[in-house]
Amino acid sequence: MKKIFLILSFLLTSTFSFSNKVDSLEKVLPTLTDDSTKIYVLNYLSSELRSKDPNLSLEYILEGLKIAETRGIYKEIVNINYSLAIAYAQNGNYPKASEKFFKVKELATEAKDTSFILNVLSALTVMHGIREEPKQAMKYLIEKLRLDSILGEKPYARDYDMLGNLHESSNNLQDAVVAYKKGIEIANMNKDSNSLSSIYCNLGITLSKKGELDSAKKYSLLALEIDIKHNRLDGMATVYMELGYIEHKKKNYQIAHSNYLKSLKLGEQISALELLEELYLLISENHVALNELDGAYKYYKKHISLRDSLNNDAIKLKLNNIKSQHEINLKDVEIAKHQAEIKAQTVASQKKNQLIIAAFVGLLLVIIFALLLFNRFRIIKQQKSTIEKQKNLVEEKNQEITDSIQYAKRIQNAILPPSKIVKEYLQESFIYYKPKDIVAGDFYWLEQKENKVLFAAADCTGHGVPGAMAVSYTHLTLPTIYSV
């Protein structure tokens, strides 16, 4: 009796919007040369053909995926994978749908694209809700609400409608009521009549389960008012069935019957088979309460017949899904092969680029090293030239000094008495004179006067030039001393 989770493609905002007809686009498709436009059209065609021709729909989306992955543009890849996830979910291939949704979430997280992250969380919530996995659905919905709050996004009433449904599925009826009332507050604030109608209906159903029949009727009538205003036949059929159920529980069987018939008329008009199956059983039970056994039997048979028919249709659908799944698996193998080829090409390209970069870096290092060596050689050459100049200058100066000292030596030797004269006065003598340097601070002196020979061996303080200067002074002084 509860309004079921919204169909995935209805709840999620479509990534593309195109006004041309499918047949026109199929004719134009082979002529398209721009890859971006081709991906756009393939995605649209796939979404339009999901219910009419699932296999062709899948072919289009997979063709778009190949082009998108080859181009490597984030927006195209994420859009195509998102559409592919929805297609898998609508075909009942929930594992593949989850895989693609998580891929989209991973890509969106890397790109910091919060809008796609929120869309994926909504999709996972709906998918697990359809699969009657309320805990998993609740996990993703709470994550979405938390992210909405962090990002400061405007809250959506449909999220709280979904939250209420999940609490109700887990039999947490009071939590469901709180969620629905929060959703009503948001729907009124946003003037969201679609969500408001659904929440009123679902709140009425939950309150009915709690035994609060008058409140349940109140919210059901509010939902009916909106559905009548907007001529929503499916909503009206659901609410009339709920009103009938409430009156039946209140033992107002005739009023319940009237509401059931209104729901029946609308349900048959829109061919709402699942609603009709449940409604036939409720009408049968109401006839039993009225003690109208023929009517009860009649509608019970209708219930059984439609239930069996739906079960058969479900079996056929399951078989078709198995067949489609096999074809999808083949397509997946083809995609995996294509992705492997792209990956191999990428790896080869990366290796080639790495080799080029390595060669370039190596060449650059050789050039830098050669420049360093050249610069070092130039500096050494300059230093060598400077040293040579300094050496030559030093040698030149040294030669000048040496020449001067040599000349000083000649002067010093000139003041020394010749060996011949010394031998003349001192026959049994010899002189050993060997200065430490070229000129010396030592000298010998000889003077003959009045039949006397004076001889001196003097040692002046210092060596070399300083000593030689002292020698010159002392040599001049000795005759003076002698004369005294």
181-195: pLDDT as tens digits: 999 999 999 888 888
What are the pLDDT digits (tens) for 136-152?
999 999 999 998 888 88
So what's the pLDDT on residue 314? Answer: 53
pLDDT in tens, 322-362: 455 545 555 555 555 665 666 667 777 778 888 888 888 88
CA separation for the pair 446, 423 (Å, rounded): 11
Query: 160: pLDDT confidence band, cut at 50, 70 and 90?
Result: very high
Give the distance, in angstroms, between the CA of residue 193 and the centroid of all CA atoms in the same chain.
39
Look at residue 333 in the predicted model and tell me its pLDDT: 56
**How confident is the model over 270-292, as pLDDT tens digits?**
998 989 999 999 999 999 999 99
Nearest to 233 by CA among 267, 193, 204: 267
Kind of pairing between the strands at 442-449 and 452-459: antiparallel
Alpha-helical regions (H) of 72-192: 74-90, 94-110, 114-130, 134-151, 157-169, 173-190
Statement: residue 13 has pLDDT above 50: no
Query: What integer pLDDT is reported at residue 440 of this predicted model?
Result: 73
Amino acid in the structure at residue 471: V
> Whose CA is closest to 406, among 450, 468, 453?
468
Rounded percentage of the chain residues whose pLDDT exceeds 90 = 29
Please tell me the least confidently modeled range out of 31-40, 125-134, 209-218, 446-455.
446-455
Per-residue exposure over 90-119, b if at least 16 CB sit within 10 Å of its own CB, e if not: bbbbbebbbbbbebbbebbeeeebeebbbb
The share of the chain scoring above pLDDT 70, in percent, equals: 87
User: Hey, CA dihedral for 263, 266, 268, 270, is it positive or negative?
Assistant: negative
Least confident of 194-198, 233-237, 403-407, 467-471: 467-471
Classify residue 449 by its DSSP letter: E
- Burial status of residue 173 (CB atoms within 10 A of its CB: 0-12, 13-18, 19 or more): middle
Paired strand residues for 447: 454
Whether the Cβ atoms of residue 234 and residue 269 lie closer than 8 Å to each other: no
Domains and CATH numbers, the chain: 1-153 (1.25.40.10), 416-483 (no CATH)
Measured in Å, how far apart are the chain's first and last C-alpha atoms?
155
Kindly tell me if the per-residue pLDDT of 19 is higher than 50. no
Residue whose tokens read 């869309």: 119
Top mean-pLDDT range of 94-98, 157-161, 311-315, 393-397: 157-161
Using CA atoms, how far residue 226 sits from 186, 233, 267, in Å, is 16, 11, 18
Ramachandran sector of residue 171 (left: φ over 0; alpha: ψ -120 to 50; beta: rest): left
* Token pair in block for residue 50: 């999901």
Whole-model pTM: value is: 0.60
C-beta separation of 37 from 306 below 8 A: no
Residues in the chain: 484
pLDDT (0 to 100) of residue 241: 95
CA distance 298 to 291: 13
Taking 70 as the threshold, does the pLDDT of residue 313 lie above it? no
Q: What is the mean pLDDT of the chain?
A: 82
The whole-angstrom separation of Cα 256 and Cα 262 is 10
* Contact criterion met (CB below 8 Å) for 89 and 123: yes
